[in-house]
């Protein structure tokens, strides 16, 4: 049993306030308690913000070289703890250990290196005629991160914030606390100056709300549901602080009529089902030419049915359980809704996979006979559920793809790269990946519409933590 009853504030490990309550850490694969986490309160949030505010003047005036040296030390400590991080993520959210070793843990290291490279060449000051334009750290940044890709989101916020000269208060998800505790430990071991990095646990409705509304927090960066993003923006509005939001998605995959159908469908299903479908950019709406619709459905069903689901600690497992009970219940409810709406299940369906009597396991599910007005095609399910929709021509495919409240990501499959890029320009999404391209952490990432505002990654992600000042003589 693990006991997490400390926060990291002002360079020290401290006990939460007496009002902090405890919650169980539950194994998603066994549904058993594996630890206990103490949650913070508004008092703890105030303590962390005060430490960050006190540290800001000195850190904001630190040199580029000082910040690079710190990030390099953090990267070195992170590299030493890669194995620990991978096993923590596997244990707490049920991601397969193979995924944790190859992506869940290493993605944080990739963000650190990308931030270091960006910082080396970033222009904090430029001249325009008789004026100087300066980019200065915005101040204290509150960072609110989710449980599904925990290290990806923690490092994608912490690294550029520190590079910009901000001090931070991190509130990681209370549903994924094990990896966050390791991250705080390595931040300490790297010699991060006291108060520059602070971490507390707590529920969104109390600690998250306090950080969002706090008059001494200058910026909030949140990754989470659209509902959570709206609540943060409302809390932040009276203090007119900046809010950067990376929120929900219902991403389309447009398989054009000149694509290799077998390859495109196979890749699309794999991208949708990765991490048990708990990925905000997952291509959960597969759009295929009507003339080849049934062929595509057959391929998708076969690929989904072949995915090994089981114990996430097994190296052969490709899909583990959903991360928690609430997510399991939601996904099961949405599968039932799809059936009620008249969609046809061609793979998976309600309930756990055969042979798995306990754990938050869900069958990789594929729905056919879906149209874009169904709830399963419009609402973010956040589970291993794929909707396959037919379209008539390219214009129809683009119209269906854009007919969504979300705009975080989109995907295009085509045998003609020039055509795929032309279609990409017509899609209302913050990022478009062509023919199964991998995520690039050096280019901006963020959403249109209800998928949020602001950008992470690359120079644009660093700029989110900066204010712009002009000085004219």
Q: What is the DSSP string of 286-323?
A: EEEEGGGHHHHHHHHHHHHHTS-BS-TTSTT-SB---S
90 is annotated as an active-site residue: no
d(Cα 29, Cα 434) in Å, to the nearest integer? 34
Q: What pLDDT, on a 0 to 100 scale, did the predictor assign at position 141?
A: 98
Task: Please name each of the domains of the chain with its CATH number.
Answer: 2-247+451-472 (3.40.605.10), 251-443 (3.40.309.10)
pLDDT band, residue 20 (cuts 50/70/90): confident
| Tens digits of residue pLDDT in 61-93 | 999 999 999 999 999 999 999 999 999 999 999
The answer to whether 221 and 379 have CB atoms below 8 angstroms apart is no
**Which percentage of the chain shows pLDDT scores above 70?**
100
Task: For residue 462, give the nearest of 71, 102, 87, 189 by alpha carbon.
Answer: 71
Q: What is the DSSP string of 171-240?
A: E--TTSHHHHHHHHHHHHHTTPPTTTEEE----IIIIIHHHHH-TT--EEEEES-HHHHHHHHHHHGGGT
Q: What pLDDT, on a 0 to 100 scale, did the predictor assign at position 18?
A: 74
Distance, C-alpha 133 to centroid of its chain: 33
- Give the mean pLDDT of the chain: 97
d(Cα 471, Cα 24) in Å, to the nearest integer? 53
| Tens digits of residue pLDDT in 347-363 | 999 999 999 999 999 99
d(Cα 103, Cα 472) in Å, to the nearest integer? 47
| Tens digits of residue pLDDT in 90-129 | 999 999 999 999 999 999 999 999 999 999 999 999 999 9
Structure letter (DSSP) for residue 456: B
394 is annotated as an active-site residue: no
Contacting residues for 39 by C-beta, under 8 A, at least 6 apart: 16, 20, 21, 22, 23, 174, 201, 202, 203, 207
pLDDT band, residue 36 (cuts 50/70/90): very high
Q: What pLDDT, on a 0 to 100 scale, did the predictor assign at position 199?
A: 98
**What HEC string does 121-166 produce?**
HCCCEEEECCEEEEEEECCEEEEECCCCCHHHHHHHHHHHHHHHCC
d(Cα 90, Cα 104) in Å, to the nearest integer? 9
pTM of the entire predicted model: 0.97
Which residue of the set 77, 100, 272, 280 is catalytic?
A: 280
Task: For residue 64, give the nearest of 143, 178, 162, 134 by alpha carbon.
Answer: 162
Which residue of the set 246, 380, 456, 464 is catalytic?
A: 246
Residue 58 has φ and ψ, to the nearest 5°, of -70, -45
SS3 content of the chain, % helix, strand, coil (to 5): 40, 25, 35
pLDDT of residue 255 exceeding 80: yes
Place of tokens 């390791």: 182
| Tens digits of residue pLDDT in 150-193 | 999 999 999 999 999 999 999 999 999 999 999 999 999 999 99
> What tokens does 97 get?
């250990």
Structure letter (DSSP) for residue 353: P
Q: Specify which residues 244 forms β-bridges with.
A: 221
> What tokens does 74 get?
């953090």
pLDDT of residue 460 exceeding 90: yes
Task: Classify residue 43 as exposed, middle or buried by CB count within 10 Å of its CB (0-12, 13-18, 19+).
Answer: middle
d(Cα 466, Cα 166) in Å, to the nearest integer? 8
Q: Count the Cβ atoms, other than its own, within 10 Å of residue 125.
A: 11
Task: Classify residue 339 as exposed, middle or buried by CB count within 10 Å of its CB (0-12, 13-18, 19+).
Answer: middle
Distance, C-alpha 250 to centroid of its chain: 14
């Amino acid at each position: 049993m693990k006991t997490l009853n400390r926060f990291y504030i002002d360079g020290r490990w401290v006990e939460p306030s007496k009002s902090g309550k405890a919650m169980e850490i539950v194994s998603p694969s066994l549904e058993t308690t594996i630890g206990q986490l103490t949650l913070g309160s508004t008092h703890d949030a105030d303590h962390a913000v005060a430490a960050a505010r006190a540290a800001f003047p000195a850190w904001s005036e630190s040199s580029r070289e000082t910040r690079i040296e710190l990030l390099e030390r953090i990267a070195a400590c992170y590299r030493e703890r890669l194995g620990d991080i991978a096993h923590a993520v596997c244990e707490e959210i049920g991601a397969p250990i193979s995924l944790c070793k190859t992506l869940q843990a290493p993605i944080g290291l990739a963000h650190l290196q990308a931030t270091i490279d960006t910082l080396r060449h970033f222009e904090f000051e430029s001249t325009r005629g008789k004026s100087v334009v300066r980019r200065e750290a915005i101040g204290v940044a509150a960072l609110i991160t989710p449980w599904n890709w925990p290290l990806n989101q923690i490092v994608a916020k912490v690294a550029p914030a520190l590079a910009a000269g901000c001090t931070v208060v991190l509130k990681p998800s209370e549903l994924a606390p094990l990896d966050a505790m390791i991250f705080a430990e390595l931040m300490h071991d790297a010699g991060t100056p006291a108060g520059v990095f602070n971490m507390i646990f707590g529920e969104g409705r109390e600690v998250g709300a306090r950080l969002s509304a706090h008059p001494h927090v200058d910026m909030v960066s949140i990754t989470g549901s659209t509902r959570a993003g709206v609540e943060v923006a409302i809390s932040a509005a009276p203090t007119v602080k900046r809010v950067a939001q990376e929120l929900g998605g219902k991403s389309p995959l447009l398989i054009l009529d000149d694509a290799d159908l077998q390859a495109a469908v196979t890749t699309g299903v794999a991208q949708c089902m990765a991490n048990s479908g708990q990925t905000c950019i997952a291509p959960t709406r597969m759009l295929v030419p009507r003339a080849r619709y049934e062929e595509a459905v057959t391929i998708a069903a076969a690929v989904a049915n072949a995915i090994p689901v089981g114990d996430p600690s097994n190296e052969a497992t490709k899909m583990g359980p959903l991360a928690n009970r609430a997510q399991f219940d939601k996904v099961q409810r949405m599968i039932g809704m799809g059936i009620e709406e008249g969609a046809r299940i061609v793979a998976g369906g309600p309930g756990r996979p055969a042979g798995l009597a306990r754990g938050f396991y869900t069958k990789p599910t594929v729905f056919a006979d879906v149209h874009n007005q169904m709830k399963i095609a419009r609402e973010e399910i956040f589970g291993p559920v794929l909707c396959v929709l037919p379209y008539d021509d390219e214009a129809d495919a683009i119209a269906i793809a854009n007919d969504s409240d979300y705009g975080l990501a989109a995907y295009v499959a085509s045998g003609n790269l020039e055509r795929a890029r032309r279609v990409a320009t017509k899609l209302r999404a913050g990022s478009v990946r062509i023919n199964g391209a991998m995520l690039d952490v050096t280019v901006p990432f963020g959403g249109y519409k209800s998928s949020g505002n602001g950008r992470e990654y690359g120079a644009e992600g660093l700029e989110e933590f900066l204010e712009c000042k002009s000085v004219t003589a």
